[in-house]
Structure 1
Amino acid sequence: MTFSLNIENESPNRTVFHLHGRLDAQTFNDFDLAMLDVLPRIPEDGTVVLDLSHLEYISSAGLRSIAKIRRHMRARNGHTLLLNPQPQVRKVFDIVKAVPVNEVFANARELDEYLDSMQRKIIGEGPASSL
């Protein structure tokens, strides 16, 4: 299987990348080239969400690509969050400890709860009673 990427701008500060297929030694370069075009357009303090629900395989080359995105976003005071990793992909992240656990989310609701919590901390509110 090959690799494909769909990009969705949910808001001016949040961009979602939907990864499909295999991110490996043969496909990482396409991903990196797409990121060179898109990442500079994401504003300071922005958030990149990598939706991995359709990513079936990731190699060390793919891990390096994601690490580049994380470094780029950190340098711009932004964030990189991983969403919906399939079990085999999540296991790779667990094994290599490539991404902090608090940046991997099982689903969109979990991600939204985290983002809501972080925003409430900034404005000094307590936890939300319901979403």
Structure 2
Amino acid sequence: MTFELHTEKPAANRLVMHLKGRLDAVTYLDFDNAVQPLLAMLARGSTVVLDLAGLDYISSAGLRSVARIRKATRAIDGHALLLDPQPQVRKVFDIVKAVPVSEVFTSTGELDAYLDRIQRRVIEGEDED
């Protein structure tokens, strides 16, 4: 199976990337090249959501790509969040401790509730961390 990436921008400060297939040593460069210009256009404080529901496999090369996205979003005071990883992909993240558990969500509803809490805290003048 190959790799596919579909993106959407449901809000000015939110980018959703839908990953499908295998993110591995064969496909990670195409992914990185597609993602780089999208990350360059993000506004300060933006959130990138990696929807992993369709991702069947991730290798160490794929993990590095995810780490680059997380680093890029942190550089603009933003967040990179994982949505609905399949059990085998989640296990890889768990094993290598690549992403804090608080940044992995099992559903869009759970993710939206988290984003709502962050925004309410900002509006109320509280720190989101």
What secondary structure is seen at the aligned counterpart in 1 of 2:77?
A: coil
Task: Report the Cα offset of residue 124 of structure 1.
Answer: 2.7
Q: Write the distance in 2 (CA, Å) between the matches of 1:24 and 1:41.
A: 25
**Structure 1: gaps spanning 5 or more residues:** 126-131
What secondary structure is seen at the aligned counterpart in 1 of 2:44?
A: coil
Structure 1 runs (4+) greater than 6 angstroms displaced: none
Count residues with an aligned counterpart. Answer: 125
What secondary structure is seen at the aligned counterpart in 1 of 2:70?
A: helix
**TM-score normalised according to structure 2 size:** 0.94
Q: Write the distance in 2 (CA, Å) between the matches of 1:38 and 1:124.
A: 30
What residue in structure 2 maps to residue 19 of structure 1?
19
What secondary structure is seen at the aligned counterpart in 2 of 1:115?
A: helix
What residue in structure 1 maps to residue 46 of structure 2?
46
What residue in structure 2 maps to residue 129 of structure 1?
none
The code of the aligned residue for 1:13 comes to N
After TM superposition, list the pairs within 5 Å mapping 1:1-131 onto structure 2: 1-124=1-124
Task: Report the Cα offset of residue 93 of structure 1.
Answer: 0.4
Identity %: 61
**Structure 2: gaps spanning 5 or more residues:** none
The code of the aligned residue for 1:67 comes to A
The code of the aligned residue for 1:122 comes to V
Task: Report the Cα offset of residue 109 of structure 1.
Answer: 0.3
**TM-score normalised according to structure 1 size:** 0.92
